[in-house]
Structure 1
Amino acid sequence: MYDIIGDIHGYADELIKLLEELGYNRQRGYYAHPQRTAVFVGDFIDRGPQIREVLQIVRPMVESGSARAVMGNHEFNAIAWSTPHPADPHRYLREHSDKNNGQFAATCKQLTDDERAEAIDWFRKLPMWLSLEGINVVHACWQPSHHATITAALKHYGGVTTDFMVDATNKGSDLYLAVDDVLKGKEFPLPEGITYRDKDGNLRTNVRVRWFESPEGKSLRDYALPPAPLAPDTPLTTAMVDTRAVYAADSPPVFLGHYWLWADRPSRLATNVACVDYSVAKNGILCAYRWHGEQELADENFVCVASRS
């Protein structure tokens, strides 16, 4: 059985406390459970004060087989930020803008150049989703048509190589759309002239949406994930979204992170959909879902520790 653990963002003390609460013990240099496997939803780096320590915990668990992990958008961004464009070595696949540099600043400060390069090499090996026995795991959005696009590109380019990254960061490509949705979530554009500020104060012209359910009868505000009370109350129709991507109620439970939810106690998003990102890097909680094989997820199976920041 699996324990699905949310975005950590450099909070190693909270991770250790959560693992111990879940019954994982440190032996032979890594944490392990005698009957269970941890599954990490990505976003190990950036923001927090213990990024090196988080990588020193997570990577040995994955390499020993006591855990599985998927890539988060912060790992993908780190690869792109660190990769010079082959056509112009003076610029990078992720622009070194003030915003992007700020997002990666804690990681750059806490890791040496060699440590960062080693981490980037490991990030390239992480899958972007996992289909395990009885569950699916992805950082932001589960969509099999995107999986097919990404799988074909990985085969064509020989993995998450520089050529793969060039294609995946080219906003006009099918691969860009696939990776962007899978790792960052589906977004709808706001009506012209309408904007709002996100959790980091950035001006937003799009809103992330509840891709796992039908938009029929909902407004853009209702369909936002996380809730966006400042988003417009524009009515939505099924014509505005690819309803083939709606996650069927009889599909295996799917677990995701990414969305910076906030609550004293986590709750499922649908009977078979659960987010395990509850904003540990914003004075929230680090949480896991302890899965016992159930098709219908239960709120009492979340296990959480409070952020010490």
Structure 2
Amino acid sequence: MACYDIIGDIHGHADELKALLVELGYTPHSPGNGYRHPDRKVVFVGDFVDRGPAVADVIEIARATVEAGDGFAVMGNHEYNTITFHTPVPGKPDVWFRERTEKNLKQNQATRDQLSPSQLADAIAWFKTLPVALELDGIRVVHAAWRPQQINLIENVFKSLGRFSAAFLAESQSVGSELHKAVEEVLKGPELLLPEGLSIVDKAAHRRNTMRIKWYETPAGGTYRDYHLGSDQVPDAAINQDSVQGMTGYPSDSPPVFVGHYWLTGTPKPLATNVACTDYSVAKGGKLVAYRWDGEAVLSADKFHWCR
């Protein structure tokens, strides 16, 4: 059985990435700027771009490592956002699949500032090749949530419309479509509407009336705070059970699944016996985290490694 090191959201922090890879026993290889381990492979959970100071270096390291066969990567929501932000809607001059709002411009600013037009086009071409989810030897990897029906839907639409083609993007950006829901849940995580009149301010300082949820747990009898996943404070009120119909959690006998995305803080530990998040907010002064998996069915806090 292969052994894997699953690394969380990097967001342009190349120095931390290099330090963590070296700590895990990887060394640079040439040609290219990838990293290699004699006995293991690295798996990136996505979100290479935006926010940090060395976006180009992060893309180069990850891509070279994957293309040399020394690792794997899945798409993060920031790669998807970059594709949609920079893809024009056919027949509509100056209209893009991701609106150029103040919020979206700010989110993509570091990537635009650091990549030349040719580098950006090359990066987007690579992003389009990334899977939205991976099943390897005994583990599953996805950026935000392992949602089998939604993952299968995305893959089927790829076959009919093409990978991130204009037709795919139009459907995936159409609020209310099944594809839009699938992309949102797999790459950004399922969300739950808060009770009327209540909202939270998330870590990006945006006010929201929805919250990210512990999709791997069943919500029966819990509160919104119990079922919230992330570092934001939410109301300690009983969940409206009608709003969580069909949320059955991630079975405890399923293969371990690794995610990023959730801006966790504190000391890394598994979310469940077979669920782990490796995003511990390196782009917000936290740490870049990896989980070193050696075949275990029950995940352990002792297997996390990190650097600041």
Name the TM-score, length of structure 1 as normaliser. 0.96
Equivalence for 1:138: 142
Residue 52 of structure 1 pairs with residue 51 of structure 2: no
Residue 64 of structure 2 aligns to a residue whose secondary structure is helix
| Aligned counterparts, 1:260-299, within 5 A | 260-263=263-266, 265-299=267-301
8 Å CA contact 2:20–2:307 kept in 1: the answer is yes
8 Å CA contact 1:143–1:245 kept in 2: the answer is no
Gap change, CA 1:237 and 1:135, over 3 Å in 2: farther
Residue 86 of structure 1 pairs with residue 125 of structure 2: no
8 Å CA contact 1:221–1:227 kept in 2: the answer is no
8 Å CA contact 2:150–2:186 kept in 1: the answer is yes
Residue 235 of structure 1 pairs with residue 247 of structure 2: no
Residue 207 of structure 1 aligns to a residue whose secondary structure is strand
8 Å CA contact 2:218–2:248 kept in 1: the answer is no
State the aligned residue count: 304
Structure 2 Cα separation of the partners of residues 68 and 198 of structure 1: 30
Task: Give how far 1:158 is off.
Answer: 2.0
Larger mean CA deviation between 160-169 and 266-275 belongs to: 160-169
Residue 85 of structure 1 aligns to a residue whose secondary structure is coil
Equivalence for 2:102: 98
Equivalence for 2:251: 248
Larger mean CA deviation between 155-164 and 62-71 belongs to: 155-164
Structure 2 Cα separation of the partners of residues 237 and 272 of structure 1: 27
Larger mean CA deviation between 220-229 and 10-19 belongs to: 220-229
Equivalence for 1:153: 157
Equivalence for 2:210: 206
Task: Letter of the 2:14 partner, please give it.
Answer: A
8 Å CA contact 1:217–1:237 kept in 2: the answer is no
Task: Give how far 1:87 is off.
Answer: 4.4
Equivalence for 2:6: 4
8 Å CA contact 1:214–1:238 kept in 2: the answer is no
Map Cα deviations across residues 143-183 of structure 1 (whole Å, 9 max, x no partner): 11101211110000122212111111111210000000000
Larger mean CA deviation between 68-77 and 25-34 belongs to: 25-34
Equivalence for 1:35: 39
Structure 2 Cα separation of the partners of residues 237 and 217 of structure 1: 9
Structure 1 Cα separation of the partners of residues 207 and 51 of structure 2: 19
Task: Letter of the 1:82 partner, please give it.
Answer: H
- Identity across the alignment (%): 49
Task: Letter of the 1:259 partner, please give it.
Answer: Y
5+ residue gaps, structure 2, are none
Residue 253 of structure 2 aligns to a residue whose secondary structure is coil
5+ residue gaps, structure 1, are none
Name the TM-score, length of structure 2 as normaliser. 0.96
Equivalence for 2:21: 19
Residue 84 of structure 1 aligns to a residue whose secondary structure is coil
Task: Give how far 1:90 is off.
Answer: 2.2
Structure 2 Cα separation of the partners of residues 87 and 225 of structure 1: 40
For the aligned residue pairs, the C-alpha RMSD in angstroms reads 1.2
